[in-house]
Structure 1
Amino acid sequence: MQKKKLFVVLLILIASVLIAGFVIPKETHPPSDTRIVLEHNQSTYIAPTCFEEADPSNFLEENTLEHAEEINYEPHDTCTVETLQSEEDRLLISVLKDIGLLDTKWDD
């Protein structure tokens, strides 16, 4: 009888966690290793999808979003801001994206 109660409690707990995972909202941010282009003349960074319209100089470097933020570079333009904007997901989906089981819009 004790095992049956424990099984029911565990089943209810698992169901509650799953339901909460599909109901609770969470922002999914771009990973720190997201590839960007540093524009050193203007101390900005450019998302690769925005590179053509950005009209960059020749003083460029490919790096990560984390590095750009460490050296206090700003987004180059609104295209970069919009491209790297957080996504609003449900908790479970966001966690699956964070651990790499689901693709994000920032994946190459």
Structure 2
Amino acid sequence: MKRITIFVLCLLVVVTGLFAIKVETSPPASTRIILEHTHQTYITPPCYEQAQKTNNLSEADLQKAKDLNYKPESSCTEDSLKPIKQPIAYDLAEKLGLKPSGWGW
């Protein structure tokens, strides 16, 4: 009985820690963005309407934009890709595909 109590208490501490301790999470390399080839910039979908863009666009992921050395089109794009602090459990759920990413636009 004492072992079960210790096990349950340990489990409770671990579960509480998963939701109480926050970690900084950055957008994954696979985050969908729009490349603006004329100005060699990239735009996130939430910032598309107010972006300064031409019709020389293509869809890609954040890794491709970094590989091309493209810059964020505006502070809106920069801000939308800033790391966020979230509980370890949420970060783990995103990585396991159980919860949509904060950048899943």
Q: What interval of TM-score do these two structures reach, taking the shorter chain for normalisation?
A: 0.7 to 0.9
TM-score where L is the length of structure 1: 0.81
Alpha-carbon contact 1:28-1:98 (below 8 Å) kept: no
Report the number of matched residues: 105
Q: Among 14, 17, 20, which residue is 1:17 paired with?
A: 14
Q: Aligned-pair distance for 1:6?
A: 4.6
RMSD between superposed Cα atoms in Å:
1.8
Return the letter of the residue paired with 2:20.
Answer: V
Deviations 1:18-40 (A, max 9, x none): 12112211122222211101111
Return the letter of the residue paired with 1:65.
Answer: L
CA–CA separation in structure 2 for the residues paired with 1:10 and 1:69: 46
Partner of 1:83: 80
Question: Does 86-95 or 4-13 show the bigger shift?
Answer: 4-13
Ranges in structure 1 where 5+ consecutive residues have no aligned partner: none
Return the letter of the residue paired with 2:90.
Answer: I
CA–CA separation in structure 2 for the residues paired with 1:72 and 1:6: 56
Ranges in structure 2 where 5+ consecutive residues have no aligned partner: none
TM-score where L is the length of structure 2: 0.83
Aligned pairs for 1:50-89 (under 5 A) are 50-89=47-86
Q: Which has the larger radius of gyration?
A: 1
Q: Flag the structure with higher helix content.
A: 1
